[in-house]
Amino acid sequence: MQSLLILNGPNLNLLGTRQPEVYGAGTLEKLERDCIAHAQTQGFEAECVQSNHEGTMLDAIHAARGKHSGIVVNAGAYTHTSIALMDAILSVEIPTVEVHLSNIHARESFRHQSYIARAAIGQICGFGRQGYLMAIDALAVRLSQSGDVT
Protein backbone atom coordinates (compact mmCIF):
# COMPACT_ATOMS: atom_id res chain seq x y z
CA MET A 1 0.00 0.00 0.00
CA GLN A 2 1.33 3.47 -0.85
CA SER A 3 1.94 5.78 2.04
CA LEU A 4 1.61 9.50 2.66
CA LEU A 5 3.49 11.70 5.12
CA ILE A 6 1.32 14.26 6.91
CA LEU A 7 3.81 16.79 8.26
CA ASN A 8 2.82 19.59 10.63
CA GLY A 9 5.21 22.28 11.77
CA PRO A 10 5.61 24.67 14.67
CA ASN A 11 2.77 25.48 17.04
CA LEU A 12 0.36 23.11 15.33
CA ASN A 13 0.65 20.82 18.37
CA LEU A 14 -1.35 23.55 20.12
CA LEU A 15 -4.39 23.17 17.86
CA GLY A 16 -7.55 23.29 19.92
CA THR A 17 -6.25 25.95 22.28
CA ARG A 18 -4.24 28.16 19.90
CA GLN A 19 -6.31 31.06 18.52
CA PRO A 20 -9.37 28.84 17.91
CA GLU A 21 -11.07 31.72 16.08
CA VAL A 22 -8.32 31.41 13.43
CA TYR A 23 -7.34 27.74 13.53
CA GLY A 24 -10.46 26.01 14.85
CA ALA A 25 -11.32 24.17 18.03
CA GLY A 26 -10.19 20.66 17.13
CA THR A 27 -6.94 19.13 18.35
CA LEU A 28 -3.97 17.94 16.33
CA GLU A 29 -4.66 14.38 17.48
CA LYS A 30 -8.16 14.53 15.99
CA LEU A 31 -6.82 16.07 12.78
CA GLU A 32 -4.24 13.30 12.46
CA ARG A 33 -6.85 10.60 13.11
CA ASP A 34 -9.09 12.14 10.43
CA CYS A 35 -6.19 12.28 7.95
CA ILE A 36 -5.32 8.62 8.56
CA ALA A 37 -8.96 7.57 8.14
CA HIS A 38 -9.41 9.66 4.99
CA ALA A 39 -6.14 8.40 3.49
CA GLN A 40 -7.39 4.85 4.01
CA THR A 41 -10.53 5.59 2.01
CA GLN A 42 -8.22 6.63 -0.83
CA GLY A 43 -6.10 3.49 -0.50
CA PHE A 44 -3.17 5.02 1.38
CA GLU A 45 -1.48 4.51 4.69
CA ALA A 46 -0.56 7.77 6.42
CA GLU A 47 2.20 8.61 8.85
CA CYS A 48 1.71 11.80 10.85
CA VAL A 49 4.64 13.83 12.15
CA GLN A 50 4.55 17.14 14.00
CA SER A 51 7.60 19.07 15.06
CA ASN A 52 8.40 22.51 16.36
CA HIS A 53 11.94 22.17 15.02
CA GLU A 54 12.95 22.98 11.46
CA GLY A 55 15.76 20.37 11.48
CA THR A 56 13.40 17.61 12.59
CA MET A 57 11.03 18.56 9.77
CA LEU A 58 13.95 18.41 7.32
CA ASP A 59 14.86 14.95 8.63
CA ALA A 60 11.26 13.78 8.21
CA ILE A 61 11.22 14.97 4.59
CA HIS A 62 14.57 13.31 3.87
CA ALA A 63 13.36 10.06 5.47
CA ALA A 64 10.25 10.13 3.27
CA ARG A 65 12.27 9.19 0.21
CA GLY A 66 11.56 5.58 -0.70
CA LYS A 67 8.96 5.37 2.07
CA HIS A 68 6.18 7.80 1.18
CA SER A 69 4.64 8.52 -2.20
CA GLY A 70 3.29 11.93 -1.28
CA ILE A 71 3.58 14.60 1.37
CA VAL A 72 0.96 16.91 2.88
CA VAL A 73 2.74 19.70 4.71
CA ASN A 74 1.61 22.56 6.88
CA ALA A 75 4.93 24.15 7.75
CA GLY A 76 3.33 26.78 10.00
CA ALA A 77 5.43 29.93 10.22
CA TYR A 78 8.40 28.16 8.56
CA THR A 79 6.33 28.44 5.39
CA HIS A 80 7.29 32.08 5.23
CA THR A 81 10.95 31.77 6.17
CA SER A 82 12.43 28.39 5.36
CA ILE A 83 14.46 28.06 2.20
CA ALA A 84 15.80 24.85 3.78
CA LEU A 85 12.35 23.20 3.81
CA MET A 86 11.77 24.28 0.21
CA ASP A 87 15.13 22.77 -0.78
CA ALA A 88 14.35 19.54 1.08
CA ILE A 89 11.05 19.09 -0.78
CA LEU A 90 12.77 19.82 -4.09
CA SER A 91 15.54 17.36 -3.19
CA VAL A 92 13.39 14.34 -2.41
CA GLU A 93 11.19 14.85 -5.48
CA ILE A 94 8.06 13.58 -3.73
CA PRO A 95 4.78 15.22 -4.81
CA THR A 96 3.91 17.62 -2.02
CA VAL A 97 0.75 19.57 -1.29
CA GLU A 98 1.02 22.64 0.93
CA VAL A 99 -1.85 23.17 3.36
CA HIS A 100 -2.82 25.98 5.70
CA LEU A 101 -5.84 26.06 7.95
CA SER A 102 -6.26 29.79 7.49
CA ASN A 103 -6.28 31.79 4.26
CA ILE A 104 -2.72 33.10 4.45
CA HIS A 105 -3.36 35.48 1.55
CA ALA A 106 -6.11 37.28 3.45
CA ARG A 107 -3.89 37.82 6.51
CA GLU A 108 -0.79 39.89 7.28
CA SER A 109 1.45 40.57 4.30
CA PHE A 110 4.34 38.57 5.83
CA ARG A 111 2.16 35.47 5.49
CA HIS A 112 1.59 36.00 1.77
CA GLN A 113 5.00 34.66 0.80
CA SER A 114 5.46 30.89 0.85
CA TYR A 115 8.78 29.23 0.11
CA ILE A 116 6.97 25.88 0.28
CA ALA A 117 4.77 26.92 -2.66
CA ARG A 118 7.84 26.99 -4.91
CA ALA A 119 8.40 23.28 -4.28
CA ALA A 120 4.81 22.05 -3.91
CA ILE A 121 2.50 20.85 -6.68
CA GLY A 122 -0.15 23.11 -5.18
CA GLN A 123 -1.41 24.99 -2.17
CA ILE A 124 -4.70 24.66 -0.29
CA CYS A 125 -5.49 27.30 2.30
CA GLY A 126 -8.49 28.77 4.03
CA PHE A 127 -10.60 25.63 4.34
CA GLY A 128 -9.58 24.66 7.86
CA ARG A 129 -9.15 20.95 8.54
CA GLN A 130 -10.99 20.08 5.36
CA GLY A 131 -7.92 21.34 3.51
CA TYR A 132 -5.89 18.36 4.68
CA LEU A 133 -8.49 15.96 3.30
CA MET A 134 -8.56 17.91 0.04
CA ALA A 135 -4.77 17.63 -0.12
CA ILE A 136 -4.97 13.85 0.32
CA ASP A 137 -7.53 13.71 -2.50
CA ALA A 138 -5.26 15.84 -4.70
CA LEU A 139 -2.33 13.50 -4.07
CA ALA A 140 -4.51 10.46 -4.79
CA VAL A 141 -5.35 11.92 -8.19
CA ARG A 142 -1.75 12.96 -8.91
CA LEU A 143 -0.30 9.60 -7.90
CA SER A 144 -2.83 7.65 -9.93
CA GLN A 145 -1.80 9.73 -12.95
CA SER A 146 1.96 9.29 -12.43
CA GLY A 147 1.79 5.56 -11.86
CA ASP A 148 4.12 5.96 -8.86
CA VAL A 149 4.05 2.78 -6.79
CA THR A 150 6.60 3.76 -4.13
Query: Could you list the residues that contact ligand DQA (CB under 6 A)?
Result: 11, 74, 76-77, 79, 100-102, 104, 111
* 6 phi-psi bin (left φ>0, alpha ψ -120 to 50, beta other): beta
Closest CA to 135 of 75, 58, 56: 75
Cβ-based nearer residue to ligand DQA, 14 or 90: 14
Cβ-based nearer residue to ligand DQA, 42 or 126: 126
Active site residue 115: no
Least distance to ligand DQA from the beta carbon of 80, Å?
Answer: 6
**Catalytic annotation, pick one of 38, 68, 78, 100:** 100
Q: What angle do CA 49, 50, 55 make, to 5 degrees?
A: 95
Eight-state DSSP code of residue 42: T
State the catalytic residues: 23, 100
